[in-house]
């Protein structure tokens, strides 16, 4: 399996990546996970990314692409395939990814474009909380932690992220449409994009993706 999940924040990319990865034994790769991995290992790329993140700035395309290329070269990924969640975010990243995968002999199978109405996304994200250490995601209504305020995975505090406030969410949706939506068109031209209604229950969305892929 070699697929990309693309869509606005809060549409459920992470949930679907976890379902597909967990049930099919395929590594799920998100840019956030790869950033954390490199930062914790104190690699040159990790230290470079940390400088931007600590100042609230976006990690430049070149650094993000090199981190992703490094992970994709891992023998585990070459053997098992991958599910990309949150990458690529720009057409430049998508173009670079095509070159990397061509060099590795790992062509993409599908790009799933997940969509849902803005107000549903705002509702979903407004109650979302994240672990301050491992990054596990919870929701005050649909997925609360067992012990209020603490992560079930590593027992660290969980908090509502500052970028999950309603006004901030709407701005993130605007930025997505401006910067990332063209990536969907990029893959449409390659005949790889399939559109999935992600406003439904996660299991229904999962079954649609799996049915189309198989």
For the cut 90, the answer to whether the pLDDT of residue 102 exceeds it is yes
Distances in whole angstroms, Cα of residue 32 to Cα of each of 91, 105, 143, 146, 193: 19, 25, 21, 24, 23
d(Cα 154, Cα 199) in Å, to the nearest integer?
30
Distances in whole angstroms, Cα of residue 183 to Cα of each of 112, 131, 204, 207: 11, 29, 25, 24
Residue located via tokens 């070159």 = 99
User: For residue range 6-48, what is the model confidence (pLDDT) as tens digits?
Assistant: 999 889 998 999 999 999 999 999 888 888 888 889 999 889 8
Kindly state the average pLDDT of the residues 64-84.
91
What is the pLDDT at residue 156? Answer: 94
For the cut 80, the answer to whether the pLDDT of residue 70 exceeds it is yes
User: For residue range 133-183, what is the model confidence (pLDDT) as tens digits?
Assistant: 888 888 887 789 999 999 999 999 998 877 677 888 888 899 888 888 899
pLDDT band for 57, please (50, 70, 90 cuts). Answer: confident
Compute the half-sphere exposure of residue 98: CA atoms within 13 Å on the CB side of its CA: 12
Q: What CATH class does 2-116+174-213 carry?
A: alpha beta
Nearest CA to 180 among 90, 60, 84, 87?
A: 90
* Structure tokens that stand for 61 in this block: 């395309």
Active site positions, annotated? 13, 89, 128, 161, 172
pTM score, whole prediction = 0.80
For the cut 90, the answer to whether the pLDDT of residue 186 exceeds it is yes
């Amino acid at each position: 399996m070699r697929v990309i999940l693309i869509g606005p924040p809060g549409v459920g990319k992470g949930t679907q990546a976890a379902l597909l990865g967990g049930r099919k034994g395929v590594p799920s790769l998100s840019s956030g996970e790869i950033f954390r991995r490199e930062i914790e290992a104190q690699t040159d790329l990790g230290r470079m990314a940390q400088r931007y993140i600590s100042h609230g700035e976006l990690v430049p395309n070149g650094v993000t692409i090199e981190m992703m290329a490094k992970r994709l070269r891992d023998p585990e990924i070459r053997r098992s395939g991958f599910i990309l969640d949150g990458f690529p975010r720009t057409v430049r990243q998508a173009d670079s990814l095509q070159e990397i995968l061509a060099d590795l002999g790992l062509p993409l199978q599908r790009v799933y474009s997940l969509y849902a109405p803005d107000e549903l996304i705002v509702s979903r994200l407004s109650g979302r909380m994240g672990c301050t250490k491992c990054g596990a995601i919870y929701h005050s209504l649909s997925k609360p932690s067992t012990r209020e305020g603490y992560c079930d995975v590593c027992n660290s505090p969980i908090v509502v992220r500052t970028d999950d406030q309603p006004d901030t969410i709407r701005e993130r949706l605007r930025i997505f449409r401006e910067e990332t939506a063209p990536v969907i068109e990029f893959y449409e031209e390659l005949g790889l994009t399939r559109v999935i209604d992600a406003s439904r229950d996660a299991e229904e969305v999962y079954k649609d993706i799996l049915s189309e892929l198989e």
